[in-house]
């Protein structure tokens, strides 16, 4: 996806070495051991929030952001910690995900929004995440880990043999402190039920979220986030939540569901990867928004994130990473790179597909002391300087130099109007005008996703019959050019 500014990935140095205190847990009333004051907790959240926003991006839809935020704030203000600087964001992530940071920062992915079927379901997940904050789960977790440093990000594309030279610790997002224990998860569910009921929502809707997650994890090839594996099994949770709901007095079960209202809010949101932020067609990479293209070596494993686009050779002995920098020239960016004390090489000016560029081979020492060979190019295009660095082990460089250099020089402006105009798939809510099975529905309203995916996002069985005049989600979009 690659959006601006990158440089070397943010590391969150968290406030270590603080005074230990024994505090009362605001949500549970129990005593807890915490090294972190509330002020520090908020500061930790604020710093991490900046990294999350930079790494994931937020959905640019003011009405949707406000909708989620207003609901979240209403629930949070009914909680035991109403005065935290509660912040709710819809992050631009197609994966089904929701998470909370210390201090009251809560994130809902557009992927999970596409899979909810009522406002009460959204309220239950917001309530659950609020519960992690009010019970100070992440803070306790951090205390246990003695803090120290928490690295945001894992190198999905990192080739172990190449060490940390590229500083590519950015491709994935792993928030260590978001892995909660089962007990914490169950407690967050109980608190979530409490908050959604205070908001007037029907607590039974929380069960449906776990039904949906169960369908997602049952679907092979679905994009289940890591947190699923650490969260308790959705079936167990459904049972536990059912038990929690059953314990609520009969005359106070029920409440708001707001299905049509919710569906009208998510009608039209982007579904799946957004190709405007870059996409691969085999080894060729297109970035419609930034109007460039390039060709990576065939057969390499590729990755496309907001921070970088990269490729790793099948043998993991070579790697190419593209990043973008505002406010630089090819000369200044190249000087910064080649001027580094661990790098030895002499760049030259040249033109790459008509673009001003500086390029050159080099050798460099990785953090672990290993010597690698490589080539780097710095190319000016539409107000940004693109840095493309390819490296290989010294043994592999003889064979990889050709493909790496060809990749550097494949960078080119993009002018194909079909690609420049590419649009993401979007959610579309349809009111069915007669009873139809899901299969019939998919035939009448064809789209890019399978019947199975429709079943998951509508939280019904694939064999279900949709009653006349019900609202059904589908996906609309055209194949990529
Ligand atoms: Zn949780």
> How do 301-304 and 309-312 pair as beta strands?
antiparallel
Q: In angstroms, rounded to a whole number, what is the distance separating the alpha carbons of residues 420 and 382?
A: 15
3-class DSSP string for 434-449:
CCEEHHHHHHHCCCCC
Q: In angstroms, rounded to a whole number, what is the distance separating the alpha carbons of residues 188 and 28?
A: 11
Distance 109 CA to ligand 1 centre (A): 14
Distance 128 CA to ligand 1 centre (A): 6
Distance 419 CA to ligand 1 centre (A): 39
- Both 157 and 237 in one domain: the answer is yes
Distance 323 CA to ligand 1 centre (A): 33
- Both 471 and 383 in one domain: the answer is no
Backbone angles phi, psi at 119, to 5 degrees: -65, -35
Structure tokens at 38: 């509330």
Residue 224 has a pLDDT of: 45
- Both 368 and 345 in one domain: the answer is yes
Distance 76 CA to ligand 1 centre (A): 16
- Both 362 and 441 in one domain: the answer is no
- Both 15 and 88 in one domain: the answer is yes
Ranges in the chain, pLDDT < 70: 1-24, 28-35, 138-179, 220-235, 251-252, 367
Domain termination residue (choose one: 419, 450, 466): 419
- Both 359 and 432 in one domain: the answer is no
Domain termination residue (choose one: 419, 445, 465): 419
- Both 199 and 234 in one domain: the answer is yes
Residue 174 has a pLDDT of: 34
**Domain assignment of residue 4, yes or no:** no
Range of the domain at 463: 424-476
Distance 137 CA to ligand 1 centre (A): 10
Largest CA distance in the chain: 78
Residue 24 has a pLDDT of: 62
- Both 257 and 302 in one domain: the answer is no
**Domain assignment of residue 376, yes or no:** yes
Report the half-sphere exposure of 433 (CA within 13 A, side-chain side).
2
Distance 230 CA to ligand 1 centre (A): 9
Distance 132 CA to ligand 1 centre (A): 7
Distance 213 CA to ligand 1 centre (A): 13
Domain count, the chain: 3
- Both 69 and 208 in one domain: the answer is yes
**Domain assignment of residue 2, yes or no:** no
**Domain assignment of residue 481, yes or no:** no
Distance 231 CA to ligand 1 centre (A): 7
- Both 237 and 352 in one domain: the answer is no
Backbone angles phi, psi at 13, to 5 degrees: -85, 115
**Domain assignment of residue 330, yes or no:** yes
Distance 32 CA to ligand 1 centre (A): 19
pTM here? 0.83
Residue 246 has a pLDDT of: 78
**Which long-range contacts (C-beta less than 8 Å, at least 24 apart) are formed by 285-288?**
285/309, 286/414, 286/419, 286/422, 287/2, 287/414, 288/414, 288/419, 288/420, 288/421, 288/422
Distance 160 CA to ligand 1 centre (A): 31
Q: Which domain CATH number covers 301?
A: 3.40.1000.10
Domain termination residue (choose one: 271, 297, 317): 271
**Domain assignment of residue 468, yes or no:** yes
**Domain assignment of residue 97, yes or no:** yes
Q: Are 225 and 245 in contact (CB under 8 A)?
A: no
Distance 111 CA to ligand 1 centre (A): 17
Distance 260 CA to ligand 1 centre (A): 27
**Domain assignment of residue 5, yes or no:** no
Distance 121 CA to ligand 1 centre (A): 14
Report angle CA 200, 206, 211 to the nearest 5 degrees.
Answer: 155
- Both 266 and 279 in one domain: the answer is no
Distance 397 CA to ligand 1 centre (A): 46
Distance 100 CA to ligand 1 centre (A): 8
Distance 307 CA to ligand 1 centre (A): 27
- Both 167 and 252 in one domain: the answer is yes
Residue 479 has a pLDDT of: 92
Residue 234 has a pLDDT of: 66
- Check the CA dihedral 465-469-474-477 and report its sign: positive
Distance 180 CA to ligand 1 centre (A): 7
Q: In angstroms, rounded to a whole number, what is the distance separating the alpha carbons of residues 275 and 286?
A: 8
């Amino acid at each position: 996806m690659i959006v601006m500014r990158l440089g070397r990935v943010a590391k969150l140095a968290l406030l270590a070495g603080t005074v230990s205190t024994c505090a009362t847990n605001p949500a549970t009333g129990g005593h807890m051991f915490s090294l972190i004051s509330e002020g520090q907790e908020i500061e930790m959240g604020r710093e991490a929030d900046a990294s999350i926003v930079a790494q994931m991006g937020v959905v640019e839809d003011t009405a949707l952001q406000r909708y989620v935020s207003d609901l979240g704030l209403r629930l949070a203000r009914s909680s035991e910690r109403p005065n935290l600087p509660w912040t709710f964001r819809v992050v631009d992530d197609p994966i089904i995900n929701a998470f909370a940071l210390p201090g009251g920062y809560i994130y809902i992915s557009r992927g999970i929004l596409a899979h909810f079927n009522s406002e009460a379901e959204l309220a239950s997940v917001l309530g659950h995440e609020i519960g992690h904050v009010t019970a100070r789960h992440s803070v306790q977790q951090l205390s246990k880990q003695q803090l120290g440093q928490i690295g945001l990000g894992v190198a999905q594309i990192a080739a172990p043999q190449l060490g940390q030279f590229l500083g590519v610790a950015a491709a994935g997002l792993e928030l260590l402190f978001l892995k909660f224990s089962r007990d914490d998860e169950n407690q967050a569910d109980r608190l979530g039920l409490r908050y959604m009921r205070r908001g007037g929502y029907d607590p039974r809707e929380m069960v449906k979220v776990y039904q949906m997650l169960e369908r997602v994890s049952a679907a092979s090839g679905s994009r289940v986030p890591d947190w699923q594996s650490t969260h308790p099994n959705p079936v167990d949770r459904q049972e536990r939540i059912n038990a929690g709901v059953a314990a609520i007095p009969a005359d106070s079960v029920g409440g708001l569901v707001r299905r049509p209202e919710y569906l009208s809010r998510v009608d039209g949101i982007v579904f799946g990867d957004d190709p405007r932020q870059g996409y691969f067609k085999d080894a060729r990479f297109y970035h419609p928004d930034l109007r460039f293209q390039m060709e990576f070596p065939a057969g390499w494993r590729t990755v496309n994130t907001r921070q970088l686009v990269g490729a790793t050779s099948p043998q993991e002995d070579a790697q190419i990473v593209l990043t973008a920098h505002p406010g630089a020239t090819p000369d200044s960016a190249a000087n910064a790179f080649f001027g580094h004390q661990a790098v030895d090489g002499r760049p030259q000016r040249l033109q790459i597909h008509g673009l001003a560029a500086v390029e050159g081979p080099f050798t460099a020492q990785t953090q672990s002391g290993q010597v690698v060979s490589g080539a780097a190019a710095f190319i000016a295009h539409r107000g940004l300087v693109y840095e493309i660095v390819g490296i290989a082990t010294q043994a592999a460089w003889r064979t990889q130099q050709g493909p790496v250099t060809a990749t550097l020089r494949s960078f080119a402006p993009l002018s194909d109007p079909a690609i420049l105009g590419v649009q993401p798939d979007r959610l579309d809510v349809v009111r069915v005008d007669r009873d139809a099975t899901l299969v019939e529905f998919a035939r009448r309203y064809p789209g890019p996703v399978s019947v199975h995916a429709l079943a998951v996002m509508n939280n019904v069985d694939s064999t279900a019959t949709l009653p006349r005049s019900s609202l059904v989600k589908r996906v609309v979009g055209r194949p990529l050019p």
